[in-house]
Chain A
Amino acid sequence: SQELEQSPQSLIVQEGKNLTINCTSSKTLYGLYWYKQKYGEGLIFLMMLQKGGEEKSHEKITAKLDEKKQQSSLHITASQPSHAGIYLCGADWASGGSNYKLTFGKGTLLTVNP
């Protein structure tokens, strides 16, 4: 079974609308990372969450990690075409062991229509 579930798989919104992407882990996270990828390119780091209940914001993007450290959400306010891309959450379960390797969700393809 999938240990890291990301939803929705794809999302089409009108410019200016708000949206939320979710990432659910089957076990407690040591850390949760959000990245954005344009197809055929590398990943751009967005946010890193490590504490239960933590919330971070950058420009119009806010990421949260629940108190149990098993669920995270990424919220975009007043979306713009520049927000379009693939959003990936990456889970660190190893409490510092295993070189902090990440397991990624399947990604959410976001399309923002002007």
Chain B
Amino acid sequence: GAGVSQSPSNKVTEKGKDVELRCDPISGHTALYWYRQSLGQGLEFLIYFQGNSAPDKSGLPSDRFSAERTGGSVSTLTIQRTQQEDSAVYLCASSRRQGRLGTDTQYFGPGTRLTVL
């Protein structure tokens, strides 16, 4: 079946503007993750959704970042009042299920490269 898809592939925005990044997980996957990949920080976990449970937002770097997942499928990561340090590749991943020691592999999308001017 189709893999994880993300849009847009690239996004250039001006400092202070809001942006929305979209992730469409693999059909049937109940767990969804957002990661950020930047030159200085490497790959960082941002947020995790599992089914209809409350998301784990422990990785979000500031209150300018938020995410939602509608209908247990598509997710949107929103960054308000973007700053230059938000420039990075934002990766989304999904897996079939997840527990504390969930064994299911996370499958990644191609990412969105965000550039804040």
Partners in one complex: no
Spell out B's residues near A (CB within 8 Å).
Answer: none
Spell out A's residues near B (CB within 8 Å).
Answer: none
